[in-house]
Structure 1
């Protein structure tokens, strides 16, 4: 069972009125759109090939030799892979509920899972069915990064056209999912297009729903929850992992995010390819990158 975005937002608003801007004070900005999750790995080319061969993604050609982009074939979202020596490049120590990247399989996840497991992935637990009937399987890629495969009985997003699998969400644990969700809505103009019931029997200390955060394109989302485990994403260096959004007004959006309690890291910078980049942390330490692309990648 899922709630409409306005209903969920109204619940959060009622709970946390002290964090809201008065609507007439909010500047209207160009929308922020999900673009990629950054992962530092030991071998970016080998990792990109692994995702192409075993998950069904494709490499997106760019002139940036420092990173490799891999996207689903419908170009909804990407992984940005880099290999910076001396930084964290394996993730076996990170609980999959601390953060993970999820793919939704339109027809089945078994075939994709079988291929991944045959070629270096590790299964975490058994395949299970959640409260709303979705089939879920957790794995780790050869770098230890948690990759979740889901087959939705009622898919959030449109069916893939060029493939049977697509990016669906990037999940992370946060100190308070309600506050985090409202912050993304209020200070980044993102939305809450759906939420899901929690397992009340195992989480009876919570009486609210797990929110997903989307953007205007409705092609990717964040899953937010609050579990009694480490919030391992918090304050992670942007060079190791971050969530990136494209926007036509990164400096103005960054200013609003800082007004809402976020922290900007350094000044806005112009990359060699002409992209404007601003790095920030949300108030809880989640690394976020805003990018104005000179030339669109997706």
Structure 2
């Protein structure tokens, strides 16, 4: 058994998907009428869709430490700058933990919290 996908009901699934492709290196693997599936290089799927019959996820309604989507990256600083330049909003400061791990929070243009993490001694 493995996780097949993680899904988010959002108000702008296609725009979000395009931003994730352009800025986070994800790929759209399936596009439907109400949303699409994206994949990272590991094959994990993220579904962004819009279902008006259910409440849409409001990323601004919770702090990033409570709920976020994390991306393993080589250079936190460089990607953080690029995401902010591309319409994201940095939340808090870039931190280095005692373990040597580096992490930062950024919200995508729709408010969804993302974490950028570089683990000490690991490669993404």
In structure 1, distance between residues paired with 2:93 and 2:79: 13
- Could you list the per-position Cα deviations for residues 127-180 of structure 1 after superposition, in whole angstroms to 9, with x for gaps in the alignment? xxxxxxxxxxxxxxxxxxxxxxxxxxxxxxxxxxxxxx1012111111111101
Offset at residue 224 of structure 1 (A) = 0.4
Aligned partner of residue 241 in structure 1, secondary structure: coil
| Contact kept in structure 2, 1:233 and 1:287, CA below 8 Å | no
CA RMSD of aligned residues (A): 1.9
- Within 5 Å, give how 1:128-147 maps onto structure 2: none
Separation in structure 2 between the aligned mates of residue 241 and residue 296 of structure 1, nearest angstrom: 23
- CA deviations on 1:60-100 (whole Å, 9 max, x unpaired) are xxxxxxxxxxxxxxxxxxxxxxxxxxxxxxxxxxxxxxxxx
Deviation at residue 233 of structure 1 after TM alignment = 4.5
Please identify runs of 4+ aligned residues in structure 1 that moved more than 3 A. Answer: 295-298
Query: In the alignment, what sits opposite 2:47?
Result: 223
Aligned length: 122
Unpaired segments of 5 or more residues in structure 1?
A: 1-164, 198-207
Residue 192 of structure 1: CA displacement?
0.9
Aligned with 2:112 (options 275, 278, 286)? 286
3-state SS in 1 of match to 2:92: strand
Contact 2:102 2:119 in 1 (8 A): yes
- The question of whether the paired residues in 2 share the 8 Å contact of 1:258 and 1:264 is answered with yes
Deviation at 1:256, TM superposition (A): 1.3
Return the alpha-carbon distance in structure 1 between the equivalents of residues 121 and 58 of structure 2.
Answer: 29
> Out of 165, 181, 195, which is 2:17 matched to?
181
Residue 212 of structure 1: which of 37, 41, 46 is its match? 37
Distance 1:214 1:266 in 2: 27
Q: How does 1:38-77 map to 2 (within 5 A)?
A: none
Any idea what the Cα deviations from partners look like across 1:32-77, whole Å, max 9, x if unmatched?
xxxxxxxxxxxxxxxxxxxxxxxxxxxxxxxxxxxxxxxxxxxxxx
> Normalising to structure 2: TM-score of the pair?
0.88
> Larger Rg: 1 or 2?
1
User: Distance between the aligned counterparts of 1:294 and 1:233, measured in 2?
Assistant: 32
Q: Supply the distance in 2 between the matched residues of 1:266 and 1:239 (Cα, whole angstroms).
A: 11
Q: Which runs of 5+ in 2 are unaligned?
A: none
Task: Look up the match of 1:245.
Answer: 71
SS in 1 for 2:16: helix
